[in-house]
Amino acid sequence: MRSPTRSTSPSPLMVHRKWFMDPKWIIIALIVGFLLVFQVFPLLYLVFRAFFSTGKFSLAAFKRVYTYPLNWSALVNTLVTAFFSMVFGVLIAFPLAWLIGRTNLYGKKFFRTLFVATYMVPPYVGAMAWMRLLNPTVGSMNVFLQKIFNLSAAPFNIYTTGGLIWVLTGFYYPYAFITISRAMEKMDPSLEEASRISGASPLMTLRTITLPMMLPSIVAAALLVFIAAASAYGIPSIIGVPGQIHTVTTRIIDFVYIGSQEGLTDATTLAVFLMIIANIVLYLSTFTLGKRQYITVSGKSTRPNIVDLGKWRVLISMMVVLFALVIVIIPFITVALSSITVNLGEPVFSQGNMTLRYWARIFTRKSILSSSKNSLLSAIMAATFGMGISCMMAYLLVRTKVKGRKIPDFMITVGSGTPSVVIALSLIMAMSGKFGINIYNTLTIMVIAYMIKYMMMGMRTVVSALSQISPSLEEASQISGASWLKSMKNVTLPLIAPAIVAGWFLIFMPCFYELTMSTLLYSTNTKTLGYELFTYQTYHNQQTASALATAILIIVFGINWLLNKLTDGEFSI
């Protein structure tokens, strides 16, 4: 007979299990819930709105939007510029990655740092620089080339499709460079040595071994550049729009700015197009290519066999220097110099043309200060909450076998693969009170948008750090008498701390100077630094914008340097 007394009930532990849910489940449920409400639902609603704009199913909106020539040309422009940026980006990134990873190129380390660091630079800085350099009438590089080669007209015009491709390539090839470099570092060097000893020359080895082995990574890198270029807003709005070259992103933002319901519907319809492309790319690169990556872990970590460039060494090194000068150094210097120039039509070093007044302005003008504060605040919040979720998710993913732990991971991956414009637009549509939540015009909506877009960077960092730590380290602590929580605090946390710091900054930085989502989500009280800079650049005063951009560059490089120092070179961006 069953007795209700305590002594006969199974065991205290079993009773516990009955009454309380596993905390792991609660964490997953909370994260999934958050993402469902703020990511999945708005995106689904966006698609729904596109087809049911009038309440019942209709393709009227699609017909209207896609028959309008300006939109049609925006679609074509987006695909064309993204495609060529992808092709050129990979054509630049692969040889660079090979030269830096596998040959005796001069200054390899420096170039590697330089090219990787440009990844963290806001792309619109590139646009600002190149419109100063290659403006068809007063662009300083144009003027310079005209003088040297004695040309009658400026050789380049930045306000063209070609110009747009040029700037997009220059600022999105680092995505491919990083992906390809990492894959190359992971490849067992003896695979290439085996080819050399089999009688293949370095170039033959490159063609028959290195290139085919790297192909999945190269394709993944290409897709990454494609989608980044296709969903870019900063560059096309600064370079494209003045030359009447519209892209899907600039059109979407124009439509939203119209403010009418029809404008919103049209924006939605275009956004759906962008979202579909992004999803296809994400599917291809994550779920099909991911499986084809060859795992080649070397038994013994030998340094890769360095290919001697021989008599080409100096020449090729010079070419890389030239590339770095043109793509990275000159644009940055241009922006920095613009920030201290009174009259942009005159050389900066001419009499009385140098000033620090724009620098003074960015530290004193109220609107700039309040925008900076907004950006700082929302970036800190996004990074902190993002890392909180990242750490919990990383632990669940790496250390537990809880069912459903991959769901939030999948959602976070999808979120980061969705174009910024689409995320922001979907949040506007769904979070303006229509469904009980109204956070439009607040910093909260900004923070949420940032988290959805950039959380994955932090999560990947923590996951990779955690998976390198053997679980036996935690077990050893527990067997020594420490509780699970103490073991976390004493063993695991100190070991992954550098990764957490790095991950935090990886989320913080892009949020700090974010432009695209802020452009859609800002209100009078919640303007951000990126948006402030953009309005100065486009409407008021380019020098002030340049001063802001230079300040951002200094912060980005400073943080990168600091991170490198703090973690002994283990982490930098």
Which residues lie near another protein (CB under 8 A)?
188, 190-191, 193-202, 204, 208-209, 212-213, 215, 294, 296-300, 305
CB 167 within 8 A of CB 235: yes
If the CB atoms of residues 298 and 478 are measured against another protein, the closer one turns out to be 298
Tell me whether residue 305 or residue 464 sits nearer to another protein (CB atom).
Answer: 305
Residue 202 beta carbon to another protein: minimum distance, rounded to whole angstroms: 8
Tell me how long the chain is: 573
C-beta of 203: minimal distance to another protein in Å? 11
Q: Is 296 in contact with 213 (CB distance < 8 Å)?
A: yes
- Least CB distance to another protein at residue 204 (A): 7
| Residues forming beta bridges with residue 432, ordered by sequence position | 438
Closest approach, Cβ 312 to another protein, in A, equals 15
**Choice between 200 and 469, CB closer to another protein:** 200
CB of 296 to another protein, least distance (A): 6
Beta-carbon neighbour count of residue 364 at 10 Å?
9
Which residue's CB is nearer to another protein, number 193 or number 409? 193
Strand partners, 103: 307
Cβ proximity of 42 and 122 under 8 Å: no
CA-to-CA distance for 559 and 79, rounded, in angstroms? 35
Looking at beta carbons only, is 199 or 259 nearer to another protein?
Answer: 199
The C-alpha R_g of the chain, in whole angstroms, comes to 26
* Torsion angle (degrees, nearest 10) of CA 124, 125, 126, 130: 110
**Smaller CB distance to another protein: residue 94 or 504?**
94
> Rounded to the nearest 5°, which phi and psi values hold at 294?
-75, 125
Between 9 and 198, CB nearer to another protein: 198
Of the pair 6, 291, the CB lying nearest another protein is at 291
Least Cα distance to 482 among 473, 499, 12 occurs for 473
CB of 208 to another protein, least distance (A): 8
d(CA 491, CA 497): 10
Closest distance of CB 310 from another protein, Å: 10
In single-letter form, the type of residue at position 140 comes to S
3-class secondary structure, 432: strand
Which residues, in sequence order, are bridge partners of residue 543? none
Minimum distance between the CB of residue 299 and another protein, rounded to whole angstroms?
A: 4
Which residue in 345, 358, 391 sits closest to 139, CA to CA?
Answer: 345
Pick the closer one to another protein by CB: 13 or 295: 295
- Alpha helices by DSSP H, listed for 198-288, are 202-205, 211-230, 234-235, 248-258, 261-282
Please, what is the minimum distance in Å from the beta carbon of residue 224 to another protein? 22
Find out whether 263 and 256 touch, Cβ atoms under 8 Å.
yes
Q: At what angle do helices 69-102 and 108-117 cross, to 10 degrees?
A: 160
CA distance 250 to 516: 10
